[in-house]
Structure 1
Amino acid sequence: MQEQELVKQLQEGDRNAFDQLYLLYSPQAYRTAYFLTGSRADAEDVVQETFVQVWLFIRQLKDSSGFRSWFYRILTRMAFRKGSAGKREIPDADIALLADRGSEGDSLSDLLLKEERERIRRAVNSLDEKHRAVIVLYYFNEFSTKEIAGITGSLEGTVKSRLFAARRKLQKSLSDRSESAGSTDINRFWKGSSI
Structure 2
Amino acid sequence: MNEMELVRQLQTGSRTAFDQIYERYHVQAYRTAVLLTGNRADAEDVVQETFVQVYLHAKELKEPAGFKSWFYRILTRLAWKCGRNGKREIPDEDIAVRADRADGGDCLSRLIGKEERERIRKAVESLDEKHRSIVVLYYFNDFTTAEIARITGCFEGTVKSRLHAARKKLGKSLSDNEAGGKLLRAVSHAE
Fold shared per TM-score above 0.5 = yes
Match of 2:161 in 1: 161
Match of 1:48 in 2: 48
* Cα-to-partner distance string for 1:37-73 (whole Å, 9 max, x where unaligned): 1111111111000001001111000000000000000
Match of 2:4 in 1: 4
Poorly superposed stretches of 4+, deviation over 4 Å: 186-189
**% of aligned pairs identical?**
66
SS class of match (2:45):
helix
Q: Unaligned 5+ residue runs, structure 1? A: 99-109, 190-195
Letter in 1 for 2:25: Y
Instruction: Determine which structure has the larger helix proportion and give its number.
Output: 2
CA distance 1:94–1:62, change in 2 (3 Å): same
Q: Distance in 1 between matches of 2:179 and 2:34?
A: 29
CA distance 1:187–1:65, change in 2 (3 Å): farther
Q: Distance in 2 between matches of 1:67 and 1:2?
A: 12
Q: Distance in 2 between matches of 1:147 and 1:181?
A: 28
Displacement of 1:90 in angstroms is 1.2
Larger Rg: 1
CA distance 1:53–1:181, change in 2 (3 Å): closer
* Cα-to-partner distance string for 1:99-131 (whole Å, 9 max, x where unaligned): xxxxxxxxxxx9x71111010000000001100
TM (norm. structure 1) is 0.82
Displacement of 1:173 in angstroms is 1.1
TM (norm. structure 2) is 0.84
Letter in 1 for 2:38: G
Match of 1:185 in 2: 183
Given that 1:174 and 1:184 are in contact with CA atoms closer than 8 Å, whether structure 2 keeps it comes out as no
Given that 1:139 and 1:187 are in contact with CA atoms closer than 8 Å, whether structure 2 keeps it comes out as no
SS class of match (1:49):
helix
Q: Distance in 2 between matches of 1:188 and 1:20?
A: 32
Q: Distance in 1 between matches of 2:51 and 2:171?
A: 34
Letter in 1 for 2:122: R
Given that 1:134 and 1:162 are in contact with CA atoms closer than 8 Å, whether structure 2 keeps it comes out as yes
Match of 1:62 in 2: 62
Q: Distance in 1 between matches of 2:179 and 2:71?
A: 40
Q: Distance in 1 between matches of 2:171 and 2:125?
A: 13
CA RMSD of aligned residues (A): 2.1
Q: Distance in 1 between matches of 2:66 and 2:179?
A: 43
Displacement of 1:86 in angstroms is 4.2
CA distance 1:126–1:4, change in 2 (3 Å): same
The 5 A counterparts of 1:18-57 are 18-57=18-57
